Structure 1
């Protein structure tokens, strides 16, 4: 009723037919063989729950509705306690000791930050001699660490559980102690999640799922741009193009199916029905993953399925003889050994926990039941029990997998049939995550779907669909702020396009914009349609802001300028001249763009190197991926621009690093060990172009790169440039060209001049001398009058 996107309902609750009929869940449990007893049965002791996913942006509205409906004193969030971990305890103690921020910051950043496997302060000290050395430099640092070691692990603050909400049948303070967070009007239980259920309260998970927001936004964009109304719940589940998209592994942005390893599995499995997606969501985990080759081999007819017993065939035929789901374990016990489904749920739990006493008891029940109901010999039923137990150890809840698979199918369908709307929605929901936006950009390149540069008169604060592609969002630029960009767009919608930089300055609210924001916009090319001299616009940010401020002051004071009358609020004095500065070279412009956007959008610094790479046997990421299809490992030379470096410490205490690099075909990560890291540290600054010799290995469904040699690209290749083509028009300044080339004379490179002449014809001239054309010299040539393009051939 409120147009809030809600997921199909996941967890064991999806097995309830009543929940489906009441539209709590959107999966028909009869169609997908989901068991009610997995949700609720007489033998179950713990309370069941529904996991319901809501639109991330509107989850708070749902919680407020629950408060209003049941009473604010009967609804509460659940408390969690944040602990002082290694980095945090160093920062907190340093602050109390009133140590200089820079000193404390330096120490804390030397402690490895790995949220998945946090390192203790003592482990960091044991592993890193540099950290120990840094601490010994100052007595205050020694005292800081002594205190921090004693405080580490203590509770630091109270917070709230991300999704959990409890609802009581009476005011909650009568049942549990409550706490009020000063930043919220909603009470919080003082018992954490573990103890709040033991106190008799029912926990509800109100989960905010970003994918539901993506789906809603994509559907809205399709309706707005294409005039089509899409109902996710009536979407055809047998759409061939959608399954073909999955079979190609083109699933970047598709829920649960977008990791590199999963995309590789999709290419092997080639899903062509919904049950394949459910199976993959369940199988792609440590343990069950080992069954994927068998699943593929049986599906393709290269192996015969093993159903263990004819009675189990109907249960396992859909998964090619592999027991993937907890529901299959329960049904097998019911069919073969006469268990009730409630009893079978206890069997499933016993197998999952592997408690010997309980397992021995269940084994006897299973063997006796199989003999009593179907005369199965004890040796056979013992063997089947062992096989089922092996599966049950990592069996997945099918109710949960089916709900996730449905969301995955919805996203894949939209990506297949409405790619522009889907990508615009996906990128909008990752507006502040430049790493993810770079992945989407790479995927759009493969789809041949243009990502258009940000533009003052075309872009919105969020990503939007245009006829020829997706327009980059102003709010996604680094350091500009979505709210400031939104006010700029609102002004444009209300009063029309900005006609000039002066017009923009006259309509700008200087309170919502600062110099840094304007510079970032200029570097990203936002003003190109009004002034494509990006260096001038970035340098003139202060001039524009001062002019905007003076006009704003004029308007608010109600004064009329001596130099003009009513001109729509632009003031009588015009915009002062912007600074006269040289244009950025192509590489300088790309570096500035990278700083403002977070990745290369309009071009890549290595684009004009691709021909040279080809002639010298230097591979691109795409070429390496193709080469490793038929062999597990090989050595390559690869060029890339360093995006970022992450240093780590091994268990033996030696340093290593992961380098993230970009070439014109994609982004990749290279591991570099301690000796080479120390030797090449001077080159490892973001934005540096590097040439690496790597060992590439196809491992665990992804390519792993290990660095064998690393050097600056320019120095390595400048002396190997054989030919440079300089394309010119009729405005060429021959004298200027002669002076530049005279200074570069002597070297391995020949120059071919291509000059446009009358009638659209081109004259080609090979210069007799040879030259040394460094990147600086090539940039100088690009910036000369009449030079259209400089290409390394």
Structure 2
């Protein structure tokens, strides 16, 4: 790695013992443009004489600073810029030689590497006669291996023809024509399948409806920057909706399987031999030039290709007998190949990737519980990915169940009926390796009879410590032994003392062999010694699950809030997972004329549109960040990422940038509370950073939610609603009791929203009763949960005010 402008300032400042905060301020004056240099950042004009957008006056002032230390630091940084900082080591490249490497090239030891490292750069290694191989690890193969291990040997659900010598399923015996597997791909249910996981790929798989392995191979090669534009053509031609066209009849021989679309490097190699008479060596040279983007080498080969085609009698047929027509076609073919060189992918790689994806797809289609257990276990402890996997499992009708010391494995395992997934003990935060010890002891000496039995059996080990026991009890890992989590949690100190007493007895050999024989065996401890305790509230149980398991398992805190969310929110998190549905909504929005005018190169219409939405849910996390300093030295502004859970599936990261955060930073104190976020959903427009004309090459990225307003739901409802209406039947024998309980719940959570009882008489008439000025409520998860115990959600509603209808303020061009 070389010393870039920003990093060299930090390095020089470190060596000079210059204060870290001041060094970072100086480094912050360097623009964020990739590969920026001091020369470019301090020039007012670019190389074409136009104003330089990367000019930094603050950086110029630093170089000319009257502070001698700053001036010296910057001058030293200027002199060192571009120098070698440290050698780079290829992540997986291994050099192979028939002779000792020291006879061919210089080597050196490198910190953190067990093998010696070459002192030559990678592109010098092969020309001196050595072989460079890249050995890549693939998590998907680990998932496949674990899935097979979970199924185990001689499993009656695994047919004989799939079993290997050890009786286990052998992935290499999976047939390549399984209908159910291709149907799974056709439904887009490819989460967890290597290189077929993205939303865009799922969309095209559903359009393609693959029926054979070659379809998956082609999609794997096409779904990459560049060739993606040919996917619609490929799909239409496969379905017979568009005629298959070849530039020359000879080309059908090698393009027939891909419906006339050039997809692989190998196709170009074969066509260069067929059309231009290339030798195998020449076609391989063309492949290398394409793969390494060596356009200059391709131009050298073009001359030979033109000569070969003109001299080929099989090419010079029909209208191409005319040299002018022949040259025109040759130029077109070569130009297509030159464009192809910027993204060409080789078929050998695509086949391997598609085959691995097909194998795992087969396991997912036929053994869904085992596959999802292996998939989730591969990311055990990764709470960021867990909600997505859980949502996928639920769509497959697999229920995630709480961890259990008597049923769970250390990793995720299927339930005995293969219809559910038992949470792995090692996946509980703070438990980790103790999960293996819990399972090992259970398998060795039988199930745990009680909480104290569990603690005593692990006396003197890392399992019987306060943190592990707290997290096990809070997540319900003892629910089959004692459903009251709070009771066990509050008896942990007592249990630890029991363990310490047991450890002392074992150490002093007080319980000797003859004592045990006289007592008929070792004394069993009983949970009857535990002190009773009131249980945690359902909300506390769910919060513990989310904090320690990464997801809600036994329920969801928003189950009692569905009504309020449906009445107030206009958009749900789950909708972001369906780009096609959002596209339909965006099509109804007017094109942003100002944005289109200022960015004339934006071709994707959807990038010019936004959808104003309002979302309601629990604020799971609030991460405040500090923006980067400006070139003039002004400190960066605070902004935040608000993670919202609206119960529709997974979490949503909403971006609250500096201007909005300045107004609504109070929402930071509302974590784990109901909030309302208003803003816009739009496609992020990315630009190719390495392109010198970056802004001429936009690419439409993921859907984003940008927040304009964030506040507690109780505050928002004070404006959006004129009151909470609760419907009760006048002839209900429990009417009086329900009214008292409702008022009691309202008084417990005082706020600003009026509460009305709507009494429905037997004749259908309705009477509305205002509970009075002292009965004003703050809507919260706890209040709605309490209310749901009294009346069904269908009997509660909010009176809308005029402000509940979305009428976004008109935005000025500079605000967009």
Instruction: Calculate the TM-score normalised by the size of structure 1.
Output: 0.73
Matches within 5 A, 1:89-238: 161-179=90-108, 187-189=116-118, 191=120, 193-197=122-126, 200-223=129-152, 226-228=156-158, 229=163, 230-238=169-177
Distance 2:562 2:222 in 1: 40
Q: Deviations over 1:251-278 (max 9, x none)?
A: 1111111122222222232222212211
Tell me whether 1:519 sits opposite 2:523 in the alignment.
Answer: no
Distance 1:106 1:558 in 2: 63
Distance 2:549 2:23 in 1: 27
Distance 2:207 2:22 in 1: 47
**Residue range with higher mean Cα deviation, 471-480 or 203-212:** 203-212
Change over 3 Å in CA distance of 1:740–1:669 after alignment to 2: closer
Shift of 1:774: 3.4
Shift of 1:353: 6.2
Change over 3 Å in CA distance of 1:354–1:417 after alignment to 2: closer
Q: 1:429 aligns to what?
A: 378
Q: Deviations over 1:433-458 (max 9, x none)?
A: 22122210111122221111111211
Tell me whether 1:408 sits opposite 2:385 in the alignment.
Answer: no
Q: 1:630 aligns to what?
A: 584
Q: 1:548 aligns to what?
A: 499
Distance 1:445 1:200 in 2: 54
Distance 1:486 1:91 in 2: 45
**Selected match of 2:557 from 581, 589, 605:** 605
**Residue range with higher mean Cα deviation, 352-361 or 445-454:** 352-361
Tell whether the 8 Å contact from 2:453 to 2:526 is kept in structure 1 after alignment.
no
Distance 2:194 2:342 in 1: 26
Where does the alignment leave 5 or more consecutive residues of structure 1 unmatched? Answer: 1-80, 130-138, 754-764
Tell whether the 8 Å contact from 2:5 to 2:77 is kept in structure 1 after alignment.
no
Change over 3 Å in CA distance of 1:545–1:197 after alignment to 2: farther
Shift of 1:221: 1.8
Distance 1:243 1:702 in 2: 27
**Selected match of 1:534 from 480, 485, 489:** 485
Q: 1:489 aligns to what?
A: 439
Change over 3 Å in CA distance of 1:208–1:551 after alignment to 2: same
**Residue range with higher mean Cα deviation, 609-618 or 733-742:** 733-742
Shift of 1:404: 0.5
Tell me whether 1:683 sits opposite 2:632 in the alignment.
Answer: no
Distance 1:128 1:530 in 2: 67
Shift of 1:111: 8.7
Tell whether the 8 Å contact from 1:257 to 1:263 is kept in structure 2 after alignment.
yes
Tell me whether 1:774 sits opposite 2:778 in the alignment.
Answer: yes
Matches within 5 A, 1:652-731: 657-666=640-649, 667-684=651-668, 687-697=672-682, 700=700, 702-717=702-717, 721-723=724-726
Distance 2:555 2:38 in 1: 44
Q: Deviations over 1:669-693 (max 9, x none)?
A: 3333321123223314654533222
**Residue range with higher mean Cα deviation, 413-422 or 320-329:** 320-329
Distance 2:708 2:568 in 1: 18
Q: CA RMSD in A?
A: 5.0
Q: 2:605 aligns to what?
A: none
Q: Highest Rg: 1 or 2?
A: 2
Q: 2:591 aligns to what?
A: none
Q: 2:345 aligns to what?
A: 396
Tell whether the 8 Å contact from 1:554 to 1:571 is kept in structure 2 after alignment.
no
Change over 3 Å in CA distance of 1:368–1:96 after alignment to 2: closer
Q: Deviations over 1:315-349 (max 9, x none)?
A: 22222222111111112212222222321232344
Q: 2:236 aligns to what?
A: 297
Tell me whether 1:256 sits opposite 2:195 in the alignment.
Answer: yes
Shift of 1:282: 1.1
Q: 1:419 aligns to what?
A: 368
Distance 1:673 1:650 in 2: 13
Q: 2:692 aligns to what?
A: none
Secondary structure at the residue paired with 1:630? helix
Distance 2:733 2:205 in 1: 49
Tell whether the 8 Å contact from 1:93 to 1:144 is kept in structure 2 after alignment.
no
Instruction: Calculate the TM-score normalised by the size of structure 2.
Output: 0.71
Shift of 1:470: 0.9
Q: Larger RCO: Structure 1 or Structure 2 (Cα < 8 Å, ≥ 6 residues apart)?
A: 1
Change over 3 Å in CA distance of 1:554–1:208 after alignment to 2: same
Change over 3 Å in CA distance of 1:128–1:710 after alignment to 2: farther
Change over 3 Å in CA distance of 1:512–1:187 after alignment to 2: farther
Distance 1:146 1:579 in 2: 69
Secondary structure at the residue paired with 1:208? coil
Q: 1:285 aligns to what?
A: 224
Tell whether the 8 Å contact from 2:717 to 2:753 is kept in structure 1 after alignment.
no
Shift of 1:526: 1.5
Q: Deviations over 1:364-406 (max 9, x none)?
A: 3222222211213222222222223222332111111111011
Tell me whether 1:309 sits opposite 2:293 in the alignment.
Answer: no
Change over 3 Å in CA distance of 1:195–1:357 after alignment to 2: closer
Shift of 1:306: 2.9
Distance 1:431 1:118 in 2: 37
Tell whether the 8 Å contact from 1:329 to 1:392 is kept in structure 2 after alignment.
no
Distance 2:28 2:179 in 1: 50
Matches within 5 A, 1:364-403: 364-373=303-312, 374-375=315-316, 376=320, 377-403=326-352
Q: 1:641 aligns to what?
A: 618
Distance 1:197 1:84 in 2: 29
Where does the alignment leave 5 or more consecutive residues of structure 2 unmatched? Answer: 42-53, 58-66, 164-168, 321-325, 588-610, 685-699, 760-766, 798-816
Q: 1:762 aligns to what?
A: none
Secondary structure at the residue paired with 1:596? helix
Change over 3 Å in CA distance of 1:319–1:642 after alignment to 2: farther
Distance 1:556 1:121 in 2: 69
**Residue range with higher mean Cα deviation, 88-97 or 540-549:** 88-97
Distance 1:196 1:748 in 2: 78
Change over 3 Å in CA distance of 1:193–1:568 after alignment to 2: farther
Distance 1:501 1:127 in 2: 67
Secondary structure at the residue paired with 1:619? coil
Distance 2:452 2:422 in 1: 24
Change over 3 Å in CA distance of 1:202–1:238 after alignment to 2: same
Q: Deviations over 1:107-129 (max 9, x none)?
A: 89x999xx9989999999x9999
Distance 1:105 1:454 in 2: 50
Q: 2:166 aligns to what?
A: none
Q: Deviations over 1:17-58 (max 9, x none)?
A: xxxxxxxxxxxxxxxxxxxxxxxxxxxxxxxxxxxxxxxxxx
Distance 2:380 2:740 in 1: 49
Tell me whether 1:271 sits opposite 2:210 in the alignment.
Answer: yes
Shift of 1:528: 2.3
Shift of 1:557: 2.3
Tell whether the 8 Å contact from 1:461 to 1:485 is kept in structure 2 after alignment.
yes
Secondary structure at the residue paired with 1:692? strand
Shift of 1:556: 1.9
Tell whether the 8 Å contact from 1:480 to 1:520 is kept in structure 2 after alignment.
yes
Q: 2:283 aligns to what?
A: 344
Shift of 1:707: 2.6
Secondary structure at the residue paired with 1:317? helix
Distance 1:353 1:182 in 2: 30
Tell whether the 8 Å contact from 2:272 to 2:283 is kept in structure 1 after alignment.
yes
**Residue range with higher mean Cα deviation, 533-542 or 149-158:** 149-158
Change over 3 Å in CA distance of 1:452–1:223 after alignment to 2: same
